[in-house]
Each structure stands twice: as structure tokens, then as C-alpha cells.
Amino acid sequence: MNQYFIKLIRWPSGCLIFFLVACQERTSYKPLIVTTEDSLARKAIINRAYANIFVAEIKIKNGDLVTRIGNDFTSESLRLLNQRDKTYSHCGIASIEHDSVFVYHALGGEWNPDQKIRRDPFVDFADPYNNRGIGLYNFGFADSMQNDLVSVVKKFYTQGIRFDMDFDLKTDDRMYCAEFIYKSIAEASAHKILFHHSFIKQFEFIGVDDIFLYPGCTLKQQIIYK
């Protein structure tokens, strides 16, 4: 029981702060009316998105950073938490396996019931039904470092590391998406590569923007589904 109350006390300093940031964005909404034209337009956007996703997949290299813009409330909350660039809500590391591209990423919520690090085909990660766009980045590391990064990512995946609902950088047995990449690169580089840390008052975290704004990390392609 004591652990239950401790969890409640810690919650606001972790996960809930993401939603508090989102709630500061005041937006008025109009009733949604879907017409046949809207449905056809949406289908066209989905088809174009998949065509672009398949082309982008060919450009991905082992160890590339893959980002996305989720279209649900949780993703919007996470995106708004970024302190310098609010473009993306989620990120993962690409791995080329038998000519197929997979993305390893730490995901929580209803999309991942067991809360463990996921290994998803790139096409599923970029899914235009649940996302508004993606970005492909390369860290500029030597090939050996890129391969070491993927090895560490796979190790965490094999260990079954779960999603960190407390968003606590001090714990290593659970990780959220940006923390997963941050700590994977730290281990792969023997802690020689450091990332910018973000703060909201006393709350310290690694935002998705702290990953793709790393000096030397370059944008290979960005696709906005439209």
C-alpha cells in the first residue's frame, strides 16, 4: 500500500507533466462533420504517404534515427513538451535485418500492453493512419559506432526493458523513448557522447528534440503526410 501512494506522489513529476504542458495550449473546437469528399481526400493522403514511406525506407541505414509525429492526444502532449523544437513526438533507432528495416523504440500506453521495448517494421512505425509524418536522421557516427549502437539497442530489447511511466532519468531498468536512445548511445560510445538535457522547473528529462538536435545529427528526409 505504501508503494501505491509513493507511486501517486511521483506521478505528477513524471508522466503527468507531459499532459499539463498540453493543457496550457488553449484551442477551440468546432463540430466534426465528415463528408464523402473528406473520406476520398483522406484515402488519397494515406496512399501518397505509403508511397513516400516505401521510397524513404530504401534510404535508411543501420543506426539511423527515425522520428514521427503521432496524431493522438498523448503524442501531442509529448510533442509540446519539447523545449526547442516541437516537431516530433516519438523516436526510435533503425536496424537493417535480412534486407528489412525495423525500428526499435520504447513505447507506453494502450498501443503497447506489455510496455516492453518494441521492434516494429519501419512501415508500421511510420503508419499514416496514426501519424502525421516522419523524419529520418543520421548521427554522423562512424559505421562501427552505428553498428555498436544497434547492438546496444538490441540488448535492451532482449532484456525486455519496460516503458518508464515516471520519466525518471536516474533509473535504468525502465526507459521512455528519448531516454532509450540517449542511454543506448551513451553505452555504445563508452559515455563519450553527451546530449543536451531539458528542464521544466526542477523536472529534468531528455526530449525528442534533444536527440535530433544533437550536433552532427543531420536530417536525411522529412515526410509530412498531406
Q: In whole angstroms, give the CA distance from residue 195 to residue 207.
A: 10
- Its pTM stands at 0.86
Instruction: Please name each of the domains of the chain with its CATH number.
Output: 34-224 (3.90.1720.10)
Strand segments (E) across 106-176: 118-121, 131-138, 162-163, 174-175
Q: Which residues pair with 103 in a beta bridge?
A: 94, 120
The alpha-helical segments, DSSP class H, found in 168-226 are: 177-188, 208-212
Amino acid at 101: V
DSSP state of 11: G
Residue pLDDT, tens place only, 140-153:
999 999 999 999 99
Residue pLDDT, tens place only, 73-121:
989 999 999 999 999 999 999 999 999 999 999 998 887 889 999 999 9
One digit per residue, pLDDT tens: the chain, 226 residues? 334 333 333 444 455 555 555 455 545 556 656 577 778 899 999 999 999 999 999 999 999 999 999 999 989 999 999 999 999 999 999 999 999 999 999 998 887 889 999 999 999 999 999 999 999 999 999 999 999 999 999 999 999 999 999 999 999 999 999 999 999 999 999 999 999 999 999 999 999 999 999 999 999 999 999 9
Q: In whole angstroms, give the CA distance from residue 197 to residue 214.
A: 11
